[in-house]
Amino acid sequence: MSDNTAIIQVETLTRRFGTFTAVDQVSFQVERGEVFGFVGSNGSGKSTTIRMLCGLLAPTEGTARVAGLDIRAEAAQISSHLGYMSQKVSLYGALTAQENALFFGGLYSLPVARIAERQRMLFPRLGLTGREHMLVRELPSGIKQRLALACSLLHDPAVIFLDEPTAGVDLINRQVFWDLIRELAAEGKTLFVTSHYLDEMEHAQHIGFIDRGKLIGFDSPLGLKVHFAGGYRLRLLHDEPQVLATAAASLRTAGYRVEPGDNGEVCVLLADGSRANLEQLRRRLHALNPTLDGTAALPSIEEVFAGMIRQHQPTQEHKA
């Protein structure tokens, strides 16, 4: 491995279950203090990768280092350096929030006084004050997720793995949760996060896309947009639908790729978002109708992912 600032170094990591390869020769690095987004459809190998990186599942081939430790040779020591929030929240519903903290702190062999100290620090910060004595099964899902995060932070780990932490959480609580993720990264923690909500990955410094066990893309959100989603989209809005329809027809005739947008607008896709190209399009629009205008934007992470999956499975239809 060339870069010694990487806190997670994954090298041709592979896991087979019988003859089925769930994780296939995956290699990448994550820098200290960054939010890394790990994205892929259901069954693509995200949780299996995380379980190997947390020392919970042995790789079939390849290896990785997490926080300086080899996941094969030093699997037993790894857990004290990392936090892990599994996909299925593993809290005990019949225990209170505080009892769960005591239980999970005990798993990390923390003394009770240290757990209490960490709880006094973490509960207010994660919006859990006043919930200490409530039964976990009575907590709303957004609060439960934050309690699970608190439990994974009790031993103050350097690296935190969050496997779909916002699944089933409402939008406001998802935003609160992501604010916490960014704060932790700003303090130097490294966060490895999987999510089904691709829009959340705009917050990540780097994103890895996994498809049927293979890493098919790895870059910053901006890098992915530039390289994989065919450049810019120019959105045209107009009060009169007829003006938009005429413009769309005329642009298509001129060879532009035109698609309907979400809100009745017209989207012109530009493979090359250079100034010259945008200027040429702007002049064409002005000639069509001086009241026509548009805003250029980069594609969303969802569009990047859809494009990437299409490239890798040209014969199959895929949902974005």
Residue 300 touches which member of ligand ADP, Mg ion, none, C-beta under 5-8 Å by kind: none
Task: Give least dist CB 188 to ligand ADP, A.
Answer: 27
Residue 2 touches which member of ligand ADP, Mg ion, none, C-beta under 5-8 Å by kind: none
Closest CB to ligand ADP among 24 and 303? 24
Size of the site for ligand ADP (CB under 6 A): 10
Please choose, from the candidates 290, 295, 243, 250, the residue with its C-alpha nearest in 3D space to the C-alpha of residue 273: 295
Q: Does 49 bind Mg ion (CB under 5 A)?
A: no
* Beta-bridge mates of residue 206: 36
- Take residue 310 and report the two structure tokens written for it: 């299409």
Closest CB to ligand ADP among 57 and 270? 57
Classify the C-alpha dihedral 54-6-46-156 as positive or negative.
positive
Closest CB to ligand ADP among 142 and 213? 213
**Strands, E assignment, 199-281:** 206-211, 214-219, 232-237, 257-260, 266-270
Residue 44 touches which member of ligand ADP, Mg ion, none, C-beta under 5-8 Å by kind: ligand ADP
Closest CB to ligand ADP among 40 and 299? 40
Task: Give least dist CB 46 to Mg ion, A.
Answer: 5
Please choose, from the candidates 1, 3, 50, the residue with its C-alpha nearest in 3D space to the C-alpha of residue 31: 3
- Take residue 9 and report the two structure tokens written for it: 């170094």
Site for Mg ion in 8-47 (CB under 5 A): 46-47
By CB neighbour count within 10 A (0-12 exposed, 13-18 middle, 19+ buried), where does 150 fall? Answer: buried
Closest CB to ligand ADP among 125 and 312? 312
Helix or strand holding residue 70 (H, E): strand 69-70
The SS3 of residue 138 is helix
Interaction site with ligand ADP (CB under 6 A): 17, 22, 40, 42-48
Q: Which residues bind Mg ion (CB under 5 A)?
A: 46-47, 87
